[in-house]
A and B are shown apart, each in its own frame.
Chain A
Amino acid sequence: EDQVTQSPEALRLQEGESSSLNCSYTVSGLRGLFWYRQDPGKGPEFLFTLYSAGEEKEKERLKATLTKKESFLHITAPKPEDSATYLCAVRPGTYKYIFGTGTRLKVLA
C-alpha cells in the first residue's frame, strides 16, 4: 500500500537553529515527491518537486533532498516567518497524490 510518513509531528526551534524534517515513503512507481508549506487557514503553497534519488533543490533557507526511501527538508538558520506546517506528498504511478500529515514548525524569536 502506498504510504507517506512525516516526522516529527511538531518541532520548535530557536531562530537561527538549523534542523531537518523527514518524509518517508513507500510507493509503487514514484512519479514525483512534493513539498508544500501551509499557513493556518490557507491552502498549501508549493515549494519543491523531486523526481529521482540524489536530486536536491534549494530556495532561500530551505533545501530538499531525496533518496529511494525518504526525503529531507533542511531548514538553515530559520526565522519566525518560517513557522508553518510543512507537507510532503508523493505521486505514485496512478493519477493521485498521497499526503503525509505534516510537520508543524514553530520558530521562536
Chain B
Amino acid sequence: KAGVTQTPRYLIKTRGQQVTLSCSPISGHRSVSWYQQTPGQGLQFLFEYFSETQRNKGNFPGRFSGRQFSNSRSEMNVSTLELGDSALYLCASSLGSRGGSYNEQFFGPGTRLTVL
C-alpha cells in the first residue's frame, strides 16, 4: 500500500512570491492535515480537511490556505511569501471519521521550502 506522497520535495522561492504544495493521502484515507515544522517551533498545525471540508485551522495568517479535492488529494497555498515561511511542510493522512484507529495519522516525507 503506497504511503503519503508530497510534491515537490524541495522548493526555493523569493519573498513576495506564492507557492502551492501538493499531498496525496494513503488510499482510502479521507482526512488530510498540514503542518509546518521549524527547528524553533516544532510541528505546528495548519489545518485539517475531511471530505473536502476544512474541519479545523491553526493559528496562522490568512496567507496560508488549503483545499481538498473529491479524491482526497489536498493542496496548500502560501501567498506573499516571507523569510519566516522557510520550513518543512508536512502532510498527514488518516481515515478520519469516528474514533479509535481512525485517528492515527501517517506522514509524508515533507516539502522543504526555502524563501530567499
Report B51 CB to chain A, min CB distance, Å: 12
- Contacts A49-B104, A95-B50, A95-B55: A42 and B109 contacting too (C-beta < 8 A)? yes
Interchain Cβ contacts within 8 Å, total number: 58
The answer to whether A32 touches B103 (Cβ under 8 A) is yes
Chief secondary structure at chain B's binding surface = strand
For B28, the chain A residues whose CB sits under 8 A away are none
Check A72 for interface membership: any CB of B closer than 8 A. Answer: no
Chain A interface size band reads 20 to 34
Q: Considering the chains assembled together, what is the distance between the CA atoms of A84 and B16 in angstroms?
A: 35
B residues in contact (CB < 8 Å) with A: 4, 33, 35, 41-45, 48, 50, 55-56, 58, 90, 92, 99-101, 103-110, 112
- List chain A positions with a Cβ less than 8 A from chain B: 31-32, 34, 36, 41-46, 49, 51, 87, 89, 91, 94-102
